[in-house]
Structure 1
């Protein structure tokens, strides 16, 4: 009976203490202090919440990172700054302890707290990143962390660290490129960041990551990864830019396509056939890749590649394919520019008389202008192209003389477009 009364007493006291500390109100209080830039009050109140309500909400930690970072940015001395950075790292540990399902990449975040705040602790940063990438690569979304990890690995390789062989660095290269490619598809709002990281990694490692080394690496590792479609797709992506003529590229492209015909596997088959000069087959695979692609912008890119590459000398098919690209991405200004260029080659072929020949240049100018409207970044190029065609195109005086103001003219041939001239 005495034990029961003791337990009731403890529960009563605990309940009183909980009532004394209102977690929700205190959270609101420190958030208000922080908004008002009263950092001292915000920090003190937040510290109380962290101590008394560690599992109240993830906001206790995400807000805490902001409060501590503010103090870091305004630290008076290097020593104070590092102490605060260490406090932030400890907070990542506590965050992981109380919300482990949301913080798989906490070690990477700790490393980047050191790195981003310029704390001289390169080996500690590398150790945290190496552990984080080995345990939670699927959870990492920080482009700078991915670049930093690879750069540190590459630095060790260049310094002659025996552990960091060429093959190990190529392992890391394959990993980070796979991560960045996947993130470009899943975190589209950060695509530019991931592409920048990818370009940085390629530039940094260009001496090692050449066609010969990549081909040798993938040949050695293909057998053990032949059933790993993600590995094969990453390998093909890494080879596709400059090394698709390598025999191992053809082997892996055929393997991936045999498993399943997707937009990606068909695209790799298109490249493999292109490099073997099997142009008919390459065109078929490009079209299949576009058909299977579900993202309109990516579909448009494939059509544009086909129109300006293999079909560039077939005016009819090139124009038809450029129009497909514009159908799926009306903002693809470069498709208008290429189409305008095609028209500029056609006056002698498609113009029945001098007026029609000049009208085709007029059409080329109007088409070039569409490029600047669709994509403002292309306006300078569109204006330059229009200026180049102007001396060969119809003038307003010639339109007036032919009494074509407000009238239309149809150009046959492969162009098959109707030009409507402005009224006076």
Structure 2
């Protein structure tokens, strides 16, 4: 299947070592032919030798299934009618056989996830309803949650929920519940990918070169994080105006009494109210208090701090904020909380405090470069207040550009964004003509104000 990622496919296809004491020559020949054709993307030519080795020696090599997916993907894409349906049915048969013969590589949950994706990708040809597609993914989520890792699958799972709500098949609460389910799953997956990626980054930072295999995994984790980040934004766009205060407040008011001791429900309600900026409503305060009483945690202390701040109790709010941060022990979750705390300070114009927390986030999760971009933004916004003359004030933009570029250096996902942001800041810095007229080429400017640090003026 196109969406399937196989990191070690080449290693799995070493035709000189099939793991059998006595190898069938015919099966070896057909596997070799299949391998050569697939590598050349000649999937039609690969079909016949693949079928021969698959039927005669189903346990001969895992490549029968890895490459079989590619071959059947091609056949499905290039067929129609009954022929297409036959290839789809055969794909399901192949997946079941993979689970039987290579269970360690093809778990039941992964098989069910792939089958759900196959149904979605061929929904029209199979004549399936949106409810049937939803139920396929719902089966995976409820019974094989740890195997539900497909970014595309999670997106489809949620969007079908919204579509079914619009078709009056689901209540709006179902949409919000599924939104939270999918976001929680994405967050858990990102935690796993980030921790694995950080170990590789730490190894590189220590001066030890990654092995070829580790290099592949580093790229893989980065790609998964990037895909999941994009999907998170897409979920917000798809839910659109449904998740607004006008819908959320009456819904949570209606269900509050029966859920005021339910920590999981309260967490989702408070988070949604906070993220959708419904915090001015008295219900938000009630929800936060109930959440902190039902299930006190780092999260609840954070939300209590937001209530105290709205009441003008800044010192008390800051104490709760620090308590919240100190209570969190998991490095990725702590990094996420550091960013959230930094964002709060940034919104209030407390740039020095914001930078402190952004830098904490960078230490805790070095594979996430977004704090560098946020710090660069604060530098750029402060340019007019940092410097004793016009030239020195605009020199701050060089400093901001340097910070922005760091984002792309530590986080491959941000290379393009970091480069564009840095270029934009450099466009606001002094021109070559101004550098010449001020005789500043190569000189160092101490920035001062809350920023501190210094920047070297470019040579002409």
TM-score (norm 1): 0.72
The answer to whether the Cα contact below 8 Å between 2:380 and 2:425 also exists between their aligned partners in 1 is no
CA distance in 2, matches of 1:228, 1:50: 51
- Residue 379 of structure 2 corresponds to which residue in structure 1? 339
1:383 is aligned to 2:435 = no
Aligned residues: 382
CA distance in 2, matches of 1:126, 1:411: 56
**Superposition deviation, residue 416 in structure 1:** 5.4
1:309 is aligned to 2:352 = no
Task: Please list the CA deviations of residues 320-379 of structure 1 after superposition, one character each: whole Å capped at 9, or x if unmatched.
Answer: 6426635764951441342243241255xxxxxxxx444642542442342454331212
The residue correspondences of 1:151-166 to structure 2 (distance < 5 A) are 151-161=159-169, 164-166=170-172
CA distance in 2, matches of 1:380, 1:83: 53
What SS does the aligned partner of 2:109 have? Answer: coil
1:202 is aligned to 2:236 = yes
C-alpha change, 1:65 and 1:171, in structure 2 (3 Å) is same
C-alpha change, 1:100 and 1:238, in structure 2 (3 Å) is farther
C-alpha change, 1:181 and 1:256, in structure 2 (3 Å) is farther
CA distance in 2, matches of 1:19, 1:411: 72
**Superposition deviation, residue 66 in structure 1:** 1.2
1:185 is aligned to 2:191 = yes
The residue correspondences of 1:342-361 to structure 2 (distance < 5 A) are 342-346=382-386, 356-358=388-390, 360-361=392-393
1:35 is aligned to 2:39 = yes
The answer to whether the Cα contact below 8 Å between 1:239 and 1:249 also exists between their aligned partners in 2 is yes
Structure 2 unaligned segments of length 5 or more: list them.
Answer: 1-21, 195-221, 407-417
CA distance in 1, matches of 2:158, 2:442: 62
The residue correspondences of 1:191-270 to structure 2 (distance < 5 A) are 191-218=225-252, 220=255, 223=258, 226=261, 229=264, 232-243=266-277, 245=279, 246-247=281-282, 249-250=284-285, 253=288, 259=295, 261-262=297-298, 264-270=299-305
**Superposition deviation, residue 221 in structure 1:** 6.4
The residue correspondences of 1:76-225 to structure 2 (distance < 5 A) are 77-98=80-101, 102-117=107-122, 119-120=124-125, 121-123=127-129, 124-161=132-169, 164-188=170-194, 189=222, 190-218=224-252, 220=255, 223=258
1:280 is aligned to 2:315 = yes
- Residue 368 of structure 1 corresponds to which residue in structure 2? 400
1:50 is aligned to 2:54 = yes
C-alpha change, 1:399 and 1:236, in structure 2 (3 Å) is same
CA distance in 1, matches of 2:426, 2:102: 56
Q: How well do the aligned residues superpose, as a CA RMSD in angstroms?
A: 4.1
- Residue 13 of structure 1 corresponds to which residue in structure 2? none
Which structure would you say has the larger RCO, counting Cα contacts within 8 Å and 6 or more residues apart? 2
C-alpha change, 1:268 and 1:186, in structure 2 (3 Å) is farther
Structure 1 unaligned segments of length 5 or more: list them.
Answer: 1-17, 348-355
**Superposition deviation, residue 382 in structure 1:** 0.4
CA distance in 2, matches of 1:323, 1:205: 34
Decide which moves more: 55-64 or 134-143. 55-64
The answer to whether the Cα contact below 8 Å between 1:269 and 1:282 also exists between their aligned partners in 2 is yes
What SS does the aligned partner of 2:97 have? Answer: helix
**Superposition deviation, residue 140 in structure 1:** 0.9
